[in-house]
Amino acid sequence: MKARFTIKQIIKQSAPVLIGVTLFSVITGRNLENSAELVTHHVPVLLVALPAFINIAGDLADVFCSRLSSELYRGNLDSNFRPLRLFLADLIGVLLVGITSFIFVAIFANIITDIIFGKIVSYLYLILIMVTAGVTATFVMMLVGAFLSRWAYLKGLDPDSIIAPITTTGGDMVGTTLLLFLASWILI
Amino acid sequence: MGVPLKEKIKKRKKRLLPEKGFIRRSLESEEWRRIERIYKEATPVVLVTVLMEIIAGLELLRVSDYYVLLPGLLLIIPGLMEARGNVVTSLAQRLGSSAHLGLINWDLGINDEVKVNWTATIILSSLLSFVLSLLAYLTAVILKMPHMSFWGFLSIALLMTLIVGTTLSSLTVLVVLLAHRLGLDPDNVTIPIVATLGDIFAVGSLYFIIRIVLFMDHFIKII
């Protein structure tokens, strides 16, 4: 059976996005790392939680976009994401996974921090901050991903090759920025 | 005489409240089943990956002591980790769509669709390794930071592609095919699994990669 795309097509579509997004993330990520160091110095639980937290936001936006592109290719959704009830069901399903996961990260990271650093913050505040920052970042990146998927699909490009780097990196950045902002506002 | 008040209230209630059996019907609807499936399949995977990510993050803090052995290493590691994550999630998405379209499955094995996507991923990883090495080297030179040679940066980046990139791409293929075979939706489970495995492999392999580069430096001057 012949492959959907050739190696050349995949590279041609992916390379510009991958190089652009990676360079952007390396350059802007450095500033974010400096801010993160400042906040984690005061709130060590964020040092423990941050790697898992930033991954969830990006991963869940990717899961949503991956489902979206599969449904576009299968013809279950049209380019305007109709029927909208399927689009919304996916959106709600992924956000519910996000809420559960962010609560879990907050609790588990606080327990680990207690064991290692002997310093914890209020569970309620931490859960509130993580869920707010995480769900907002995931939701924003899901919408960005949906918009870009539609654009790529209508242009005849493969959304799978283009969207993942943008949603992963965007989820990392929006999530980390929101988390650091809320943490420095509420916890310090 | 007008309609009695009791009747009026009853009518209004009927209008405002959902009909009898609404909740049951909603729970049996296609949309609910869809939400339920995403939640049931993705949540356990994401929760396990959270545990692994937290442990990998703590391990990264420990491995960071080795960064001083190779000057300028910190300039390239975050970029390499980011690039690897981006490349492999794209592969997972493409293979997820291919599985839904019936182009790949466990019985078809390693067919052209798998080969093309796997090869493209390795080429993209190598290309990004080259770009990131050049960027790290130029940044160090321009900012007059202590650094290794361009070949040192490139060796680390290519070794990471060789060790982590090839293993992870192969595992992505395996996870997609296995998820599909087990009746799970590859779109729900593959990305969280491979993204986390990628971080764990990257952290785990860093120590060895640093050691290999230091060993190679005895024979060819690369640092």
* Confidence band, pLDDT 50/70/90 cuts, at residue A147: very high
Question: How do the domains of chain B map onto residue ranges?
Answer: 7-216
CA distance A185 to chain B (A): 24
In this complex, the residue of B50, B60, B187 whose CB is nearest that of residue A101 is B50
Taking CA atoms, what residue in A is nearest to B121?
A: A11
HEC string for chain A: CCCCCCHHHHHHHHHHHHHHHHHHHHHHHHHHHHHHHHHHHHCHHHHHHHHHHHHHHHHHHHHHHHHHHHHHHHCCCCCCCCCHHHHHHHHHHHHHHHHHHHHHHHHHHHHHHHHHCCCCCCHHHHHHHHHHHHHHHHHHHHHHHHHHHHHHHHCCCCHHHHHHHHHHHHHHHHHHHHHHHHHHHHCC
Collect all residues with Cβ–Cβ distance below 8 Å to B66 and sequence separation of at least 6. Answer: B206, B207, B210
Could you tell me the sign of the dihedral formed by the alpha carbons of A158, A162, A163, A164, in that order? positive
> What does CATH list as the number for A7-186?
1.10.357.20
B11-24 pLDDT, tens digit per residue, is 777 666 666 666 66
B-chain residues near A126 (CB < 8 A): none
CB within 8 Å: B135 and A23 = yes
Flag if A22 and B83 touch (Cβ within 8 Å).
Answer: yes
In tens, the pLDDT along A92-128 reads 999 999 999 999 999 999 999 999 888 788 999 999 9
Given B34, B46, B86, which is nearest A93 (Cβ)? B34
pLDDT at A85 over 60: yes
Higher-confidence position of A105 and B72:
A105
Read off the pLDDT of each residue in B188-204 and give the average, rounded to a whole number. Answer: 89
Cβ–Cβ gap A94/B132 under 8 Å: no
Q: Which of 1.10.10.60, 1.10.357.20, 3.30.450.20, 3.40.50.300 is the CATH number of B7-216?
A: 1.10.357.20
pLDDT tens digits for range B139-173: 889 988 888 899 999 999 999 989 999 999 999 99
Q: pLDDT band for position B124 (50/70/90)?
A: very high
Q: Is B200 helix (H, G, I), strand (E, B) or coil?
A: helix
- Kindly state whether A76 is in contact with chain B, defined as any CB-CB distance less than 8 angstroms: no
Interface test with A, best of B81, B89, B123, B124 (most A CBs within 10 A): B89
